[in-house]
Chain A
Amino acid sequence: MNSMILTLLVFSPVLGILLMAVIPNTEERNLKLLGFLGTIPALLISLYLYFQYAMGTDLSAFSVKTDWFRFGNLEKYDPNLFAVDYELSVDGFSLIMVILTAVLSTLAAIASIHIKKEWKGYFLLFLLLEIGMLGVFTAQNLILFFVFFEITLIPMFFLIGKWGYLEKEKAAYSFLLYNGLGSAILLIAIMVLFARTGTTNIEALRHIMTVGGVSLFAPLSDGMKYGLLFALLIAFGIKLPIFPLHTWMLRVHVQAPPSIVMLHAGVLLKIGAFGFIRFGMGIFPEQFKNIAFLVAVLGVINLLYGAFLALVQTDFKMVLAYSSISHMGIVLIGLGALNEAGIQGAIFQVVSHGLIAALLFFLVGVMHERVKTTMIGELGGMAKYMPVTSGFLLAGAMASLGLPGMSGFISEFMAFLGLFKEEPILAAIGALGIILTAVYLLRAVLGMTFGKAKRTVAEGVSEIKGVEFAPVLVLLALIITIGIYPSILSGPLQETLDAIMLGIGG
């Protein structure tokens, strides 16, 4: 049972896909219900895993490993040479990411009630996307990781291109181009590692890179290691995104349907951060140490660039898009600090921003459903007609700008704590970004909620209602829980952190 559970977790959405395939495209209600139910097994299994973990079960008990395939007829030399196994496993960090994915998928499925057409295709792709995301966080070798990584690409392309807003196709192609390039670079890096070491298992690679190579091959030169690390930096930098590789992400944030942006901002961008930590720091700790300052600088640039541009946006979705860039800067800052506090902060930020971005984009969806616009200038006085929605929006903004007691505060605080310890000047410059964050968020949110009511918001606009409460309340609850009781995250993370710190010798 235990060895099956991760496979079940990753592929549980298949059940929904199969059931959905037999339901005609016209039964909107059933399709939406089934789409929602399709995400439930993964959620239950991931919570079961967390429960088991909390009870003291060793997570490695759930690992699964079977032969998949191998390149070349080399079995006679070495049974593992150029073999690719099917291996899934979770540790504290990936368990958190899996839970985040499962929770956000379920909530995004609820948010999908606003989808207006082709529900069948939408939910098929939606569940396929979930398989990809769950797989990415559990895969234990680079090729399997890449397979799942690319599986997220295809559904996203269609979800953006078909169910998005006005310039959806342009956004979809922009997404495809950037992420395709990122994947291409990633694949080459993976294949070079594979060719030089004969394995893609992450643990084995970590061992080979830090301790010593296999005698069969020439050792990787230092230059090659830096080359590979930079390749990973670019590949995951596109995903994260790092300035100046971010333009695709703005389009996606603005054009994709809000339920998909919830997943995109909440989980998919995080794959970039996950990749940095797992592969960048995990496999190349020595080299990562030497470029840490660069990473921190990139982080500060991201933070400030995103914040400054968010300041002048007229579309609330654009504000949130730039805010995402800005917040991803904090992840980089934390990683660049290269000490325990910094890395912990980075991972906290990954989770925290995932929840906050999902919350804000869900509210964007709710608003757009009612007032058909997200332009700040055309909104105003929402507090009068939609007081509850406005309240939630303000709460989301507060979480985002890092109000103490909410998750955003913990992560920003720790990331900066880490950086101040190592690079006080850089950190001081970066800290400006925190002030700016407060400014742009309050400007946008207050502009929409208070002031004189514009014609778009008028009597008769309905308040947030029914199932729409569920995502908001769940997300807010999680944000506040992490804010006041951070151990819920730091507990599972400790082991991963220790391993990373051991690698970089901190």
Chain B
Amino acid sequence: MDMETMLSYDWGAMAPEFIILGTAILLSILDLFAPKQFNRRSLAWLGLTGIFLAFITLLGLMGQETVSILHDTFKLDSFAVAFKLILLFGSALVIVMAHSYEPPEGMNEYRGEFYYLFLAALLGAMVMASSGDLITLFVGLELLSISSYILAGMRKKNLQSNEAAMKYVVNGGISTAITLFGMSYLYGLSGTTNLKEMSAWMVGVFDSQFQYLFGLAFFMILVGLTFKIASAPFHMWAPDVYQGAPTPVTAFLSVISKTAGFAMIYRILIGLFITAPGDSMGAFTFLEKNQVYLAFLAGITMIIGNILALRQRNIKRLFAYSSIAQAGYVLVAVATLGGGTFLFDTVWFYLMAYVFMNLGAFSVIQLVTEKSDTEDISGFAGLYKRSPWLAAVLSIFLLSLAGIPGTAGFIGKLNIILGSVTVEPGHYVLASIMMGTTVISYFYYFGIMTQMFFRPVQGAGNIKIPAGISVVLIVCAIGTILFGIMPSLAFDFLHVNFGDFADFFAL
């Protein structure tokens, strides 16, 4: 590629990525050369500035036509923008959380590292949302994964953190291999790694032999990607890793990493297979024909996540299962294609709500587990007395996770269920599983509230909320309530700026 072609690209489309990359490099240099006594905690603000700038730039890019550069490997369509907004916003909250994170040991030594690895992971996630090619998708996926492996093991002297990192690497390696194997089928069949070309080719394939191989590729990729979103069958790493990893990393894994995973599922699985014919007549599309398997995975994920969460005493493990269950809910939307009409709305809205409610919950968890010196849910006993505000906002987040009206989580669930019964024939079983497991989830979410409000205080006294955490909490609480009471704000934003996401399928 000569210089001229290089310069002819509209690099502005990648500006947010460049800003994040630049910030990460800057942070790593500062961390390397700054004197030892320099408090690396303040690097968080630099990272936050970077994320903030990227966010602004992205907002500036919003109105544009779809830009596709580097031979269609990187594309900035409305889907990419919509998901990157969530990724950047969530990351900004997580980095503020991380600033206040003070575990007994192991964090202060590597705080500098934490921030730039975090940004590298974010960069990977953003590339995943924006890729138009299997190669760039995979590079993004690996960038995100490898950075997260290290982040999970950040507390090098801590046994659990080490265990978490190890399990994460091993599981991640296996699942990535499976994804890659599935991708190799697609490449082998179509002769291209470009999603646009591949999709254009697949539309015309009616040979059932080929379709069989598509099926193989589809399930390989899907199974591999369930690792990123922590759903069945690759969910078992979640409890151990969530428990062992530093809390901000856990929050990152449960929200940003998951969102990126869903973005990738949309890019490959929905993008390619929604138009591909499912039989030799072309009477069904591939997804219509294979929906039932996706639905099965979604159902199993919800059941596993919600049932196993009931037995947990460790709050981070509990939230690991809770986040598995939440992934199941979003998978319902994927499996039913949001009823066709709500294909993007459902997932985007739910993930956005999830950023608010889950990051809010994790901020409280981080603070309370630090102050109570235990990760057992009994650490929340009498939180109402120790800090009424903390108890109140955590209740908001828990109610939203449980899908109680008045919160964003409720609207998200409503939309998913509406999508699942809109299609003909409706996915009644899946909708019923979703509602049934939601009722089960009441028990562990309310179990935490039982601790907070019904149990007497144990141990330490009042909790002082650090400034950073209180900002995160306020933002999350307002977001959770606001989008629960006035969801039209988010829906209108989505529809005005992105319409029907028509450019996602544009060939």
Contacts and interface: CB of A to CB of B under 8 A. Distances in A.
Given A158-B453, A162-B454, A69 B426 contact: no
Contacts of B435: 184-185, 187-188
A195 B442 contact: no
A348 interface: no
Contacts of B53: none
Interface string A182-197: 0111011001101110
B404 interface: yes
Interface of B: 339, 341-342, 345, 384, 399, 404-406, 410-411, 414-415, 417-418, 421-422, 424, 426, 428, 431-432, 435-436, 438-439, 442-443, 446, 449-450, 453-454, 486-488, 491, 494-495, 499-500
Interface string A213-248: 000001000000000000000000000000000000
A70 B341 CA distance: 12
Interface in A177-214: 177, 180-181, 183-185, 187-188, 191-192, 194-196
A169 B450 contact: yes
Contact of B341 (A69, A72, A121, A183): A72
A73 B500 contact: yes
Contacts of B449: 158
A435 interface: no
A154 B399 contact: yes
Given A177-B439, A187-B435, A191-B431, A71 B404 contact: no
B450 A184 contact: no
Nearest to B484: A147
Contact of B417 (A148, A153, A188): A188
Nearest to B438: A184
Contacts of A184: 435-436, 438-439
B421 A71 contact: no
Contacts of B453: 121, 158, 161-162
A67 interface: yes
A181 B432 CA distance: 10
Contact of B491 (A70, A151, A181, A218): A70
B446 A176 contact: yes
B421 A69 contact: no
A157 interface: yes
Nearest to B483: A69
B405 A73 contact: no
A195 B406 contact: no
Contact of B454 (A73, A147, A169): A169
Interface string A63-75: 0000111111111
B421 A192 contact: yes
A147 B454 CA distance: 26
Interface residues of A, number: 40
A177 B447 CA distance: 13
Contact of A161 (B406, B418, B454): B454
Nearest to A147: B405
Nearest to B486: A69
Nearest to B498: A73
Contacts of A185: 435
Contacts of B410: 147, 150
A146 interface: yes
A173 interface: yes
A82 interface: yes
Contact of A195 (B399, B405, B421, B446): B421
Interface string A151-181: 1011001100110000001000100110011
Contacts of A180: 438-439, 442
Contacts of A194: 418
Nearest to B416: A191
9 contacts: A69-B488, A69-B491, A71-B491, A72-B342, A73-B500, A151-B406, A176-B442, A176-B443, A191-B418
A187 B486 CA distance: 20
Contacts of B415: 71
B414 A191 contact: yes
A66 to B, nearest CB: 11
Interface in A53-83: 67-75, 82
Given A180-B442, A185-B435, A150 B418 contact: no
Interface in A272-321: none
A44 B422 CA distance: 43
Contacts of B439: 177, 180-181, 183-184
A161 B436 contact: no
Contacts of A68: 488
B431 A218 contact: no
Nearest to A143: B414
A43 B414 CA distance: 33
Contact of B495 (A73, A143, A162, A183): A73
A187 B436 contact: no
Nearest to B447: A173
Contacts of B491: 69-71
Interface string A115-151: 0000001000000000000000000000100111011
A218 B500 CA distance: 24
Contacts of A74: 341
Contacts of A192: 421, 426, 428
A71 B500 CA distance: 12
Contacts of A157: 446
A19 to B, nearest CB: 17
Given A151-B405, A151-B406, A191-B417, 15 more contacts: A69-B411, A70-B491, A143-B414, A153-B404, A161-B453, A162-B454, A169-B450, A180-B438, A184-B438, A188-B428, A188-B435, A191-B414, A195-B418, A195-B422, A218-B424
Contacts of B411: 69
Contacts of B417: 187-188, 191
Contacts of A188: 417, 421, 428, 431-432, 435
B345 A72 contact: yes
A135 to B, nearest CB: 10
A71 B342 contact: yes
A70 to B, nearest CB: 7
Contacts of A176: 442-443, 446
A481 to B, nearest CB: 36
A73 B345 CA distance: 9
Given A74-B341, A169-B450, A191-B421, A69 B499 contact: no
